[in-house]
Amino acid sequence: MEEEKTKGQLLAENLLRKPKSIPESNPEILGEASKFCEGYKEFLSNKTEREAVAYAVPILREHGYTEFVRGKVYKPGDKFYMVNRGKNILMCTKGKRPVADGIRVSVAHLDSPRLDFKPHPLFEDADMAYFKTHYYGGIKKYQWTTVPLSIRGKVVKKDGTSVDIRIGEEEDEPSFCITDLLVHLAQNQMAKTASKVVEGEQLNVLIGSWPYQDEKVQKKVKLAIMSILNEKYGITEADFESAELCAVPAFKARDLGFDRSMVAGYGQDDSSCAYAEFMAEIDTKEPEFTTLTIFADKEETGSDGVTGMRSYFFRDFVEDLAQAEGVEVRHVLRNSICLSADVGSAYDPAFGDVYETNNCAYLNYGPILSKYDGSRGKYSTNDASAEMVGYMLDIFRENGIVWQMGELGKIDIGGGGTIASEISVHNIDTIDIGVPVLSMHAPVEVTAKVDVYMLYKAIYAVYNSPKKKDI
């Protein structure tokens, strides 16, 4: 016979929060999540915003999306998309209600920390050829030496044509790397602080060592490499000036752990959220409110530029939607909500001292809902209102979504921002949500499959909820 609960036990049940991990509350879900993450791992093979956009467009078309036509009046259930300069996609499913009632926005970024090439990248030193890089986004520079790298990007040539480059990923392709000092001679290096152990100007990618056979020319290795590049891609050294090339880690995304419960791979900040919102967008068929799913760019360098979220491309697009229905864009924005879908930090016991354990996020506890980010006294944060958080949690509870509220780490030891502020400036109620990640911004990042999957379910629930915002 079951023992009767004490008054205190009953009170605790009624009054206290009982955080539960996904494996505790739903152990069966790993199978589904693993299936979902097969597509996710493939998505991770796109390692730049351009590649992800080029990958996503045919998938959208397969699922009935057509290119957006300005002025066209769309019917409920119609799906359409617009690409901005090959680096952003805006994807929509028209809702039953007019856009004046507000739209449901989700934004995730496709750019990840990497090593961009300088405009004059090619040089030779000590009979070896290198590409000189300027790192993109926040990295621990020492992590980027001695890992296999692949080279990606686009070169616009003198004759006006362009060529896409993607090399170093496949087994039969050459690989590249940045060298590091041997430990035997590293006494001085090891005494330096970590930010100085490897410095920006040392992040040179080794690309060749075999000289061009001609006594009459200088810099024979450089010439030999340029000759290979010319043969393969039809480019000359001057063409690097109009190129966007970068080096990224060359590993494929893989299952992590004997239990295969996690994914290890490059670029999960923020491709985990991008894939989750992408699938939620595609699977949404007849929403009450029009959805707008955005692939953003330049988040890692502050969201500037024409493809960053500070650009007007987003607002202009919403204005086009508004005008097609004869309403003002500001009225659409005021009634809208946005999920700023970006990763957060997962608690790492090896570095436990930087986390406040009551308010940080854990692997396998679901997507992190963050009321605010920012640093030094919540500086530069969107800070979602209680009403906005309440509205979200209502939708989550109604749809069996497992979530965790979390902030990045302890107060005043760092901090970071997301694009939430770039969205809320348009008078859209916005909240941050994202997958918890271990080793964020490292060449290999780690996520839990059920967290990625649950984020998909959370965004799907928001897209498909008929619940009107009353804020």
Residues within the interface to Mn ion (CB under 5 A): 269-270, 342
Query: Could you tell me which residues come within 8 angstroms of residue 186 by beta carbon, excluding any fewer than 6 positions away?
Result: none
What are the tokens at 361? 């996020």
Q: Which is nearer to Mn ion, 335 or 340 (CB)?
A: 340
In Å, what is the CA distance from 202 to each residue of 145, 176, 205, 206, 342? 9, 15, 9, 11, 30
**Min separation Cβ 346 and Mn ion, Å:** 14
Q: How far apart are CA 452 and CA 471, in angstroms?
A: 29
**Cα Dmax for the chain:** 96
User: Is 177 in a helix, a strand, or coil?
Assistant: strand
User: What's the closest the beta carbon of residue 63 comes to Mn ion, in angstroms?
Assistant: 26
- Of 76 and 137, the one with the shorter C-beta distance to Mn ion is 137
Q: Which letter, b or e, does each residue of 56-86 get, where b requires 16 or more Cβ atoms within 10 Å of its Cβ? A: bbeebeeeebeebeeeeebeeebbbbbbbee
Identify which of residues 270 and 373 has a Cβ nearer to Mn ion in the complex: 270
Which of 49, 342 has the CB closer to Mn ion?
342
Residues 6 or more apart from 363 whose CB is under 8 A from it?
262, 346, 347, 436, 438, 446, 447, 448, 451
Contact 90, 317 (CB under 8 A): yes
**Smallest gap, in angstroms, from Cβ of residue 131 to Mn ion?**
24
Q: How far is the CB of 441 from Mn ion (least distance, A)?
A: 6
| 239 vs 373, beta carbon nearer Mn ion | 373
The residue (of 239 and 299) whose beta carbon lies closer to Mn ion is: 299
Read off the DSSP letter of residue 147: S
- For residue 345, the minimal CB distance to Mn ion (Å) is 10
Nearer to Mn ion, 101 or 269 (CB): 269
* H or E element in which residue 413 lies: none
Min separation Cβ 112 and Mn ion, Å: 7
Between CA 396 and CA 425 the distance in angstroms is: 25
Q: Quick count: other Cβ atoms within 10 Å of Cβ 468?
A: 13
Least Å distance between CB 128 and Mn ion?
32
Determine the angle formed by the axes of helices 386-398 and 449-464, rounding to 10 degrees: 100
- Minimum CB separation of residue 277 from Mn ion in Å reads 13
Tell me whether residue 43 or residue 289 sits nearer to Mn ion (CB atom): 43
